[in-house]
Structure formats: structure tokens, C-alpha cells
């Protein structure tokens, strides 16, 4: 159940919800940081601004989800992504934390090009 919950939250970032400022501000932890696929380190406000400025985003497909529970309310989600046309395969890791109210927020994300190109 936890894996499915986090998979749905993560995949919602690959949908048109990524253009909804209020939703992004609720999903991304105030201390959110990301190491992008190209190696840049960005913070929450930079990430939100970038997502909101996207004109059209290629559909992102995801697979091979697994979680590593780090402790109570702290989980790493690992998975693979690629664009619908098959380009840019990536390995992804997201660190999710759960508030006392049961709200999951994303505090860290990293995307790395897949070494084997698949």
C-alpha cells in the first residue's frame, strides 16, 4: 500500500499537476532539494518556477518502483523513467517524509542517466 501511495504521488509529478503551484507547494517539502539529471542542484522555489514555466512536457513513463524504509515516516523511492519516445532513460531516487498528520512530502530527488542506456 505504501509503495502504491508513493508511486502515485511521484508519477503525479510527471503529469499536468506539475503546472499547479498550490499542489506543488503542498507536495514539495519546504527544504526540498534536487540534483537534476544534468547534475545541477536546485531548491524548491527553482523547481516550482521551472515546472510552471514548461510549455509542453514530453510524457514520462516510469517503472521498476521499490521502496527502502529508512525509519518511521522516512522512505526512499527508487525507479526508472524514460520519455514516451524512448529517449533519456534515467534512474531516480526520491526521499519522502511523512508528517504527524499523515501527509507525505518530497524532500529530496535525484535523477541520473541510466548507464546502460536502457
pLDDT (tens place) for every residue of the chain, 118 residues total: 999 999 999 999 988 888 899 999 999 999 999 998 888 999 999 999 999 998 776 788 899 999 999 999 999 999 999 877 767 889 999 999 999 999 999 999 999 988 865 5
* Assigned domain for 53 exists: yes
Handedness of CA 59, 56, 27, 49 (dihedral sign): positive
Residue 88 lies in a domain: yes
Q: Structurally, how many domains does the chain consist of?
A: 1
Beta bridge partners of 42: 34
Domain extent at residue 99: 2-113
pTM for the model: 0.89
Tell me how far the alpha carbon of residue 33 is from its chain's centroid: 11
Give me the CATH number covering residue 85: 3.10.450.50
Does residue 118 lie within any of the structural domains? no
Amino acid at each position: 500500500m505504501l509503495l502504491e501511495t508513493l508511486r502515485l504521488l511521484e508519477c503525479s509529478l510527471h503529469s499536468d499537476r506539475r503546472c499547479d503551484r498550490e499542489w506543488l507547494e503542498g507536495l514539495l517539502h519546504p527544504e526540498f532539494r534536487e540534483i537534476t539529471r544534468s547534475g545541477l542542484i536546485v531548491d524548491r522555489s527553482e523547481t516550482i518556477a521551472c515546472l510552471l514555466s514548461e510549455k509542453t512536457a514530453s510524457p514520462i513513463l516510469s517503472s521498476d518502483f521499490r521502496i527502502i524504509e529508512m525509519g518511521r515516516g522516512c522512505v526512499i523511492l527508487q525507479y526508472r523513467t524514460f520519455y514516451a519516445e524512448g529517449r533519456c532513460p534515467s534512474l531516480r531516487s526520491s526521499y519522502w517524509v511523512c508528517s504527524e498528520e499523515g501527509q507525505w512530502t518530497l524532500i529530496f530527488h535525484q535523477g541520473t542517466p541510466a548507464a546502460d542506456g536502457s
